[in-house]
Amino acid sequence: MRDVKAKAAEEGRTLTAVIDDALRDYLRRGDETSTSFRLRLVTVPGKARDGVDLDDRDALYEVMEGRA
């Protein structure tokens, strides 16, 4: 914080203005350095177990947790 205050005094600017500019620069760099990410969905063939009703959430949890 002392360095920021000294920089503001050197430049004859307010502390708020120096901090605002620093935040803008930081956020701008974040946009430039970000890389795009592509999620690849993997699907596998399968089917529900016999007797499992996918519309019944509670029954589905029972089966998934091994209680049914």
**pLDDT tens-place values along the chain, 68 residues long:** 899 999 999 999 999 999 999 999 888 886 665 667 788 888 888 887 787 888 998 888 888 888 76
Residue 6 pLDDT:
93
Q: Which regions of 1-68 does DSSP assign to beta strands (E)? A: none
Residue 68 pLDDT:
66
Residue 59 pLDDT:
85
d(CA 9, CA 68) in angstroms, rounded, equals 71
pTM over 0.75: no
Which of 13, 11, 15 lies closest to 1 in space, CA to CA? 15
